Amino acid sequence: MEKEDDSFGQGLKTPQELVGKLVDLLTVEELDTDLYRGPRLPGGVGRVFGGQVIAQALVAANLSVDEDLIAHSLHAYFMRPGNEDFPIIYRIERDRDGRSFSTRRIIALQKGQPILNMAANFQRPEDGLSHQFAMPDVPPPEDLQSEAEYWREHAADIPEAFRKRVLRQRSIELRPTERRHPTKPEKSAPASATWFRTVAPLNGDRRLHQAVLAYASDMTLLGTSTLVHGINWMSHPGLQMASLDHSLWLHEDFRADEWLLYATDSPWTGHARGFNRGQIFTQDGKLVASVAQEGLMRLRD
């Protein structure tokens, strides 16, 4: 079998190796007090995936707070595209430490320039009033085909310029609840739902599972705003899209190696921007996270 590039370097890898590489990618190195270095993606080419920067920033911020403090929200602005050729430096600012909450500001830097500015808030667990929205009624993941299997079966439909990128191995499995043609998308309601989990068991504590979810929360979300317009990045190569900001609220405990449903919608697009929202549920219907993101959405000839 011919070897293909995967998202973590050259050569085919087992699911366990892929998840191990993801954990390595999200493991930051302490350089000094409140100064960390995040590794670059092995074999990465071009622009850094935004979810990687968010997840590494969260991991770095976690290292600056007490172990009993749990991240419950983060708000990030992407200022410049990251470059896969270089690691990322994370500088932590300890804005506040209170009895219940702590706030950290994280600046991600490459070549001396900020590429992301993020604020993260942490809370000591406590009880309180509770309610949640119900999970959408969608097919269970066991009844759905994985995105990777679909792409392999329809490789001939993928433009050659995108084929290598689309067919590479990934550490996170996606199972969309609706299937849309890759190069001939039709206009549809600006809403989508996709099951996801790591392709192998994920060892580690709650903080690692939060980091993996933060990484995955940048998947499938941005494209939701294109559905109503009947375009995507393969059907319209002139479509320029990039995340401008990203907010994540972590509500409940979960495991990122068990099925999670990412239900997204897009209430608005305009002025070369698209606004998207997401809710993440466990398979038994528990709402564990909410997401909001605005992205650049520029259609060029």
At residue 291, φ and ψ (nearest 5 deg) are -135, 150
243 an active-site residue?
Answer: yes
Given the residues 52, 225, 247, 293, select the one marked as catalytic. 293
Give me 228's structure tokens.
């109503």
Give the H/E segment covering residue 151. Answer: helix 147-153
Instruction: Provide the strand spans (E) within the chain.
Output: 29-32, 35-38, 70-78, 88-97, 101-110, 113-123, 172-176, 191-198, 239-250, 260-270, 273-282, 287-299
Given the residues 6, 218, 257, 265, select the one marked as catalytic. 218
Given the residues 192, 243, 266, 279, select the one marked as catalytic. 243
293 an active-site residue?
Answer: yes
DSSP classification of residue 11: S
Contact indicator for 297, 254 with CB cutoff of 8 Å: no
Who's near 32: CB < 8 A, 6+ residues apart? none
Active centre residues (catalytic): 218, 243, 293
